[in-house]
Structure 1
C-alpha cells in the first residue's frame, strides 16, 4: 500500500484545520450558508434528505486495518441517527419508518468510497481531524472536479494482469489533487484504471477509462477511452487511443480535460458531462484532443511526463508484503482442497468467493457484505473492526473495497483459507453468493438521498429475502442485479444484467426494469446499457417481476448458459411478456 509522505500528511492535516476554521466561522455567522456550502462540499460534506452525509475518499479502494478501525470509530462515535428526525421525515413522505434504520454504520459505494449518513455538521471538524490521523480525507469526493480514482480491486495480485495500475493511479491522484484547472470543470469527472485483461473496473462507463496494455513490441502503454457515463444519458466511452506510451498518460489526460473544460456545457448541468460533448462532436473531439496533446508535448515540453525514476519511487510502495512472499509449498494448496472435501459449505465458498492469485501460494478472498436484514454495502462499526482484525490476521493488514460493494482480502495464504472461512462465517461475511443474484448493487436511494425518486433498499431487501436458498441461487447462476433510486444511476442500474430504476409518478414510487446491461466484465461481455422492458412496476410487484424474468430464463436457457447470454440469444420479448403478466395479475387480483 502507498504510504503518505510527510508532505502528504502535513497537507491533509492542514486541510482539516482549514475546515475547522471554516466550520467555526459558519457556526457563529461570519460565513454565510452560501459561502460555506462549496467549502464543505470540497471536503466531502453533503446535506442529504435527513442529515449530513460524509463521503470519504478511498483511492483505488485500498484500506489498511488502521484506517478501517478509524472508520469504525467514526461510525460508532459520530454516525448516530436521530430516530425522531427519521420518523417524522419518513412519515411526511409516506416512507418506511425506523424499523429499517441503520445505526452506527458506514456504506461502501460503487466507486469504492465510504459514506456516513448521520454525522451532525457541528461534529464534522472532529471527524476530519480523526481521518487525518490515518491519512484519510474527503477532498474531491464532491464538486465539479476530478474525483477519487477507482481501480480493479485485484490490482497487483490478479493472474491476468499486464501491469499493476496502482502506481499510476497514485501518481494521478497526487497530480489531480487541487489542480486549479481540474477544480472548476463543467461537471464532475471520474477516472477508472485497470491493468488486467478482464475489465473489472467498468472503465467504459467512466469519463476517462484506462487499460494498461502492451504493443506488438512489448512496450507498456495505455488504451484510453473517454466520454462514458450513466445518468440520464447512458453512453459507452469512445476509444481515443489504442496505445499511448505510459510516460505520457498525464499529458494526454490534461489534453482531454482541457478540451472538455473549453467546450463543455456550463449552461445546463444535465448536458454538462463530457459524455455529451464526446457524443456530439465525435471525431472532431478526438482531433482537438490530439492537437492539444501535440501542443502540450511539443510547445510546453511535456510538463507532466512520468519519469522512470518517479514510477519506480511510487512502485516501491506497492511491492507484495514481505510476510506473504511466496514461500509456501504446493502442499498448502492441496491441503485447502482436501479440507473442502469434508466441508460442503466451505467448498461452495471456495468456488464463489475465492479467486486465483498471481502467487500460487496465495488467494484473493471476497467477504460478502450482502446479507439478510442489512442493505448492500452497509457495514456497522463492529463489522468494520472485525474486517480490520481479519485483514491483520489473514491479509497483511490490507483490505480493498470493491465496486460491487464488498470487501476483498488480497493476500490470503491458501493454507489459511479454512481458518479464514470459519472466522468470516462467524462474523457473517461468508455467504457464498459472490456474482449471484443476491450479490446485488444498490444505492442508498430515497431513504437517505435528497435526489432519489424512490427507495432502493426495501426493494433490495425484498429480493434478498425471496432468494435465500443457495442451491436455487447456484442454479440461476451468475447474474448482475443493480438497483438505483433515481436516474443518476449511483446503483449502476444501466450496467446490470437486470437493472431496477426508481421513478416518481404523481408522488408515488414506481420502478422500471431493464435487461441486458453489462459493465464489461468477463461474466457480462461487451459493455452496454440495458433496455427497458415495459411500463413501471410498483414496489410490491418488483420481486414478482424479477421471479417471472428468472423463470423465463430457466425455461429458455440451453445447458449451462448464463442469464445474460440467454437474454442476448432469445431477445427481450419473452422476458417482457412474463414480467408484464405480473402487473396484469396484480390488477386482476386487486
Structure 2
C-alpha cells in the first residue's frame, strides 16, 4: 500500500496545527460559527442530531494493521467504543467531543491518516474495487491510478470550493464492484483494439434526491491523460455548475440540463488546451506509483496443502462460511476472506474497538498486515493462505464477525438514519434488525440467494437505496416514519435505478413487505440461478405490486 513521504506527512501535520488553532478560536468566541462551519467540514466534522460526527478518510479502502489499531484507540478514547464503516469505504465516529477533534486528527496523522476532504464541496475520498490487486477478473491493479488521482485532488487550489461535493471511483474488472456509474466521475480501466491501456470515462452519475446513472463521455482516454481529462471535467463543472441552488448543484444536473453531447464538447475543448501540459503523466510517474503496490511474498507451496479441503468436509459451519465469505484469489493456495459487519443485533457497518484490535492482529498473523473496507460496509483480508482459513474463521466467530451472509439478504447496506443523522426522516437501523429477524435462518437465506437490499433514512441516499435490488427510503409523514420501496436497481455493470412499487409503507409493515417481495421472487424465478434482478426484469412490477398492496389484477389483465 502507499506510504507517506516527507511531503505528505508535513502537509497533514500542518493541517492538524491549523485546525487546532481554528477550533481554539471558535471555542474562545473569536471565530464566528458560520466561518468555522466551512473549516470543520473541510476536516470531516459534521454536527449531527446528538453530537459531532467525524469522518476519517480511507483512500480506496486500504488500511494497515497499525492504522486499524489507531482507529480502535480513537474509538476507545474519544468515542463510545466503536466506529462505523460507510459505503464510501471510510470510517465515521458518531460521538467525539468538538474540542477533542484536533487531538484525534493528531493521532490519525501519526499513522498516515487524516480526515481531509471527507466533507464539504470538494473532491472527496477516491474509491475503488475492494479486491484490487488480487481479483482474478482484474485487467490491472487500479490502486496506483487511485493514488495518483488522490494526490492531484488533495488541496487542489482550483477545486477547493466547488458548487457541490465531487466523488471519483475506479474499476478495472469485468464485474464492477466500485459502483463507478453512480459517481461524479467513474473510470473503467480498459484496453483498446491496439492493446493500449486507457480508460472509459463516465461523468454525471450520482444518487440523492435526483438519482442518475452516469453516461459515457469518452470511449477511450489514453493512459497518460488521466489527470488532464479529470481536470478538464472539473473546470467545466466549476465554471458552470449551479451555486444558487444546492439541490441542483451536482455535476449530474449540469450534464443533464446541458445535454451529454454539448457537455462532452465543452470538456473536450477544455482538455485540448491542457492535455499536453504539466498534467500529462509520464511512464515513470506510473511506474513509481506502481512500486507501492507490488505483490506480497506469497507462499509458493500454499496450493499443495490439503488441510483446507479436509476442514470443509469435517465442519459444515466452516463450509457455510467458506461458501459465502470467501472469494477466489489470483494466487493458487490463497483466498480472499470477508469479515462480516452484518451480525444480528448490530448496526450494519459498526465495529467495536476490541474487534478492530483483533482484526488488526489477525491481519498481521494471516494477511500481510493489511485490511480493506468495502462499499458494502464490510472488511476484507485479501491474502489468506487456505491452510490458515480455519484458524481465521474460528477467531472471527469468537468475535461475532463471521456471519456467513456476504451477498445475501442480511448483508444489507444501511445508513445511520434517524438514530444519529440530523438530516434523516426515518430510522434505518431498526428496520435492518426487523429484516434480520424475519430472515434469521441462514439456510433459508442461502436458498434465496444473492439479494442486495440498500436502505437510506432520507433523500440524500447515503445507503444507495435507488440502486438496490430492493431499495428502502425513509420518509416523514406528519411526524411518523414511513418508507418508499423500489425494486430493480443495480450499481454494477448493468447499472439501473429501481422502480417505485407505489405508495409508502408504514414502519410496522416495511419488513413484512420485504418478505412479500422475496416470496414473489421465489415463486416466479426460473431456477435458483436466476437472481431477483433478472426475475424482476423478466416479469415486471405488477406481481410484486399486487402482493405488496394486496390488490387483485384488473379484469382485462386476467383476460
Report the TM-score range of the alignment, normalised by the length of the smaller protein. Answer: over 0.9
Structure 1 equivalent of residue 194 of structure 2: 217
2:203 corresponds to: 226
Instruction: Please tell me whether residue 537 in structure 1 is matched to residue 505 in structure 2.
Output: yes
Q: 1:270 to 1:360 in 2, by over 3 A?
A: same
What is the aligned partner in structure 2 of residue 62 from structure 1? 62
Q: Is the 8 A contact 1:438 1:467 kept in 2?
A: yes
Cross-structure match for 2:359:
387
Is 1:8 paired with 2:45?
Answer: no
- Report the 3-state secondary structure (helix = DSSP H, G, I; strand = E; otherwise coil) of the residue aligned with 2:324: helix
Look up the match of 2:265. 287
Counterpart selection for 1:330 from 291, 303, 317? 303
Q: Report the 3-state secondary structure (helix = DSSP H, G, I; strand = E; otherwise coil) of the residue aligned with 2:515.
A: helix
Contact in 2 for aligned 1:362/1:411 (Cα 8 Å)? yes
Partner-residue secondary structure (3-state), 1:154: coil
Match of 1:153? 130
Determine whether 1:581 maps to 2:558. no
1:75 equivalent to 2:75? Answer yes
CA displacement 1:298-347 (0-9 Å, x = unmatched): xxx4221111111111111111223xx24124222x43123201111111
1:351 to 2:337 alignment: no
Q: Distance in 1 between matches of 2:504 and 2:474?
A: 9
Tell me the residue number matched to 1:310.
Answer: 285
**1:45 Cα deviation after fit:** 0.6
The question of 1:362 aligning with 2:330 is answered: no
CA distance in 1, matches of 2:231, 2:521: 46
Q: What residue in structure 2 maps to residue 98 of structure 1?
A: none
Do 2:144 and 2:290's aligned partners in 1 also have CA atoms closer than 8 Å? yes
What TM-score, normalized to structure 2?
A: 0.97
Residue 241 of structure 1 aligns to a residue whose secondary structure is: strand
Indicate yes or no: 2:440 matched with 1:472: no
Pair 1:268 & 2:210 matched:
no
Asked if 2 retains the 8 angstrom alpha-carbon contact of 1:108 and 1:405, the reply is yes
Q: Write out per-residue CA displacement over residues 373-431 of structure 1, whole angstroms, 9 at most, x where no aligned residue.
A: 10000011111111111111111110000000000111111221111111111111111
- Counterpart in the other structure of 1:208: 185
Match of 1:111 in 2: 88
- Distance in 2, matches of 1:405 and 1:380, equals 14
1:54 match: secondary structure: strand
Give the aligned partner of residue 89 of structure 1.
none
Contact 1:444 1:457 in 2 (8 A): yes
Residue 302 of structure 2 contacts residue 332 of structure 2 at CA under 8 Å; is this kept in 1?
no
- Aligned to 1:472, the other structure's residue is in SS state helix
Match of 2:533 among 547, 564, 581: 564
How far is 1:361 from its partner? 2.2
What displacement does 1:262 show?
1.1
Among 470, 493, 506, the alignment partner of 1:498 is 470
Deviations 1:9-44 (A, max 9, x none): 111111111111111111112211112111111110
Partner Cα separation in structure 2 for residue 328 and residue 293 of structure 1? 50
Listed as ranges, the gaps of 5+ residues in structure 1 are 81-103, 583-590
| Offset from partner CA, 1:219-254 (integer Å, 9 cap, x none) | 111111000001111111010111111100100000
**Residue in 2 that maps onto 1:237:** 214
| 1:121 paired to 2:121 | no
1:153–1:401 Cα contact (<8 Å) kept:
yes
Task: Work out the CA distance in 2 between the residues paired with 1:241 and 1:486.
Answer: 33
Shift in Å at residue 186 of structure 1?
0.7
- Normalising by structure 1, we get a TM-score of 0.92
CA distance in 2, matches of 1:544, 1:483: 15
Q: CA–CA distance in 2 between the matches of 1:562 and 1:26?
A: 53
Structure 2 CA distance for aligned equivalents of residues 138 and 153 of structure 1: 20
Count of residue pairs the alignment pairs up: 549
Shift of 1:581: 2.5
Provide Cα deviations, 1:455-495, integer angstroms capped at 9, x if missing partner.
Answer: 11110111112211111001111000001000110000001
Contact 1:326 1:359 in 2 (8 A): no
Distance 2:137 2:318 in 1: 25
* Cα distance between partner residues in 1 of 2:303 and 2:15: 49
Measured in 2, the distance between the counterparts of 1:256 and 1:169 equals: 17
Residue in 2 aligned with 1:586?
Answer: none
Secondary structure at the aligned position of 1:188 is classed as: coil
Q: Secondary structure at the match of 2:447?
A: helix
CA contact (8 A) 1:496 1:518 kept: yes
Superposition deviation, residue 211 in structure 1: 0.9
How far apart, in 2, do the equivalents of 1:151 and 1:114 lie? Answer: 15
Cα distance between partner residues in 1 of 2:101 and 2:303: 50
Residue 559 of structure 1 deviates from its aligned partner by 1.7
Deviates more, 1:372-381 or 1:415-424: 415-424
- Give the corresponding residue for 1:397: 369
- Structure 2 CA distance, aligned partners of 1:424 and 1:252? 44
State how far apart, in whole Å, the 2-side matches of 1:361 and 1:115 are.
35
1:186/1:273 contact within 8 Å kept: yes
Q: Take 1:329 and 1:256, find their aligned partners in 2: how far apart are those partners? A: 46
